[in-house]
């Protein structure tokens, strides 16, 4: 077992890299996998990451990878296809049937996949003027003309959240019927409503600036930004193979205060756990997970 790693980290977004950096600084033999698909790959800049506000996501991660490898951590770009818990002290990670890596601890930092509208034009503006996260991009739409694309009964609360930054809001029900109670809430906050189906988004595709939404009928709507919230799903189902419990309320990986999942030796950090889904939070969780993984790896004879 000469190639037994102390910890294998699956995922090199802010959570995985932050954990890998700390683990490497604790001098643990650490291997990190990623397949270069961080959640915010469509964003033009990471907002609200203290000291790095606005940094392009790819640059933040490239810097992080550099810091990890400079401390002796190994990073491999490869898609992990399966994982196996042999015992609470022994895990196997497969990148193909022939390539198997082994470790004493496993950290899942595989992030989430966003469900996005399939409206023509969406991709051209996503991350620049079409957003899903008011915490990340609300400030950028301060006093602007903002449309909110509805998808379910939570959309009214989601729209009201944006009143923090602008009063110029319009709720697009996208052909869905609006409940009487929801209409009353929108009226109370003076949020305008359009009910026709949204068939396209248009604007300056060079700069990514949205200019209007096109409807199945009626006049186009001139707007500066659009928010949507269709939900997310876990990027991998490794938790199923490992038997990790999900949080019943949000369907994400349940972890205790040490970031250990319900399976001994398997830890989780970042968007896969039930906290705010922000890069800075993911990085902090990665660091916390690493601290506890380190503590769990200290041999018995060194514990005072």
**Interface with ligand FAD by CB under 6 A: which range of 47-55, 171-179, 194-202, 206-214?**
47-55
Task: Please give the residues from 91 up to 150 whose contact with ligand FAD meets the rule CB under 6 A.
Answer: 109-111, 114, 127, 133, 136
Cα–Cα distance for residue pair 278/4, rounded to 1 Å:
32
Work out whether 64 is an interface residue with ligand FAD (CB under 6 A).
no
- Helix, strand, coil % over all residues of the chain, rounded to 5: 30, 30, 45
For residues 64 and 14, what is the distance between their CA atoms, to the nearest angstrom? 8
Residue from 47, 194, 259, 292 touching ligand FAD (CB under 6 A): that is 47
CA–CA dist 284, 289 (Å, integer): 9
Residues 223-262 that bind ligand FAD (CB under 6 A): 235-236
Question: Contact with ligand FAD (CB under 6 A): which of 155, 260, 261, 277?
Answer: 277
**Is 11 an interacting residue with respect to ligand FAD (CB under 6 A)?**
yes
Q: What is the largest CA-CA distance in the chain?
A: 75
Q: Please, what is the Cα angle at 136 between 211 and 245, to 5 degrees?
A: 125
Closest CB 198 distance from ligand FAD, rounded Å: 19
- The β-bridge relationship of strands 90-94 and 82-87 is antiparallel
**How far is the C-alpha of 123 from the C-alpha of 137, rounded, in Å?**
17
Single residue of 7, 24, 80, 201 touching ligand FAD by CB under 6 A: 80
Decide whether 134 or 265 has the Cβ nearer to ligand FAD.
134
- CA-angle at 102, arms to 100 and 106, nearest 5°: 115
Distance of alpha carbon 43 from alpha carbon 21, whole angstroms:
24
Nearer to ligand FAD, 117 or 270 (CB): 270
Question: Which lies closer to ligand FAD via its Cβ, residue 24 or residue 282?
Answer: 282
The dihedral formed by the CA atoms of 12, 14, 20 and 26, expressed in degrees to the nearest 10? 180
> Does residue 33 touch ligand FAD according to CB under 6 A?
yes
Q: For ligand FAD, which is the closer residue by CB, 44 or 185? A: 44
Q: At what angle do helices 57-70 and 14-25 cross, to 10 degrees?
A: 20
Binding-site string for ligand FAD from residue 182 to residue 221, where x marks contact by CB under 6 A and - marks none: ----------------------------------------
Residues found near ligand FAD in the complex (CB under 6 A) = 10-16, 33-40, 42-43, 46-49, 79-80, 109-111, 114, 127, 133, 136, 235-236, 270-271, 277-280, 282
């Amino acid at each position: 077992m000469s190639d037994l790693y102390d910890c294998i980290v699956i995922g090199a977004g802010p959570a995985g890299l932050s954990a890998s950096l700390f683990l490497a600084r604790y001098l643990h033999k650490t291997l990190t996998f990623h397949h270069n698909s961080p959640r915010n790959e469509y964003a033009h800049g990471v907002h609200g990451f203290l000291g790095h506000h606005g940094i392009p996501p790819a640059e933040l991660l490239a810097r992080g990878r550099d810091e990890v490898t400079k401390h002796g951590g190994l990073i491999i770009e490869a898609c992990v296809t399966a994982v196996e818990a042999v015992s609470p002290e022994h895990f196997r990670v497969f990148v193909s049937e022939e390539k198997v890596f082994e470790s004493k601890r496993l950290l899942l930092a595989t992030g989430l996949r966003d469900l996005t509208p399939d409206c023509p034009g969406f991709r051209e503006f996503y991350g620049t003027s079409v957003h899903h996260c008011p915490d990340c991009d609300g400030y950028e739409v301060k006093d602007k003309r903002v449309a909110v694309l509805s998808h379910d009964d939570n959309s009214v609360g989601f729209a009201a959240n944006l009143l923090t930054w602008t009063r110029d809001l319009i709720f697009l029900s996208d052909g869905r019927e609006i409940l009487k109670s929801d209409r009353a809430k929108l009226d109370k906050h003076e949020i305008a409503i359009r009910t026709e189906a949204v068939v396209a988004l248009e604007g300056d595709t060079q700069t990514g600036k949205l200019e209007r939404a096109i409807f199945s009928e009626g006049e186009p709507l001139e707007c500066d930004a659009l928010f949507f919230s269709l939900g997310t799903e876990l990027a991998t189902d490794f938790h199923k193979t490992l038997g990790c419990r999900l949080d019943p309320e949000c369907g994400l990986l349940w972890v205790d205060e040490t970031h250990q999942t319900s399976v001994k030796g398997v830890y989780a950090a970042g968007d896969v756990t039930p906290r705010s889904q922000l890069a800075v939070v993911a990085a902090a969780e990665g660091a916390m997970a690493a601290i506890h993984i380190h503590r769990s790896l200290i041999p018995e004879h060194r514990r005072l």
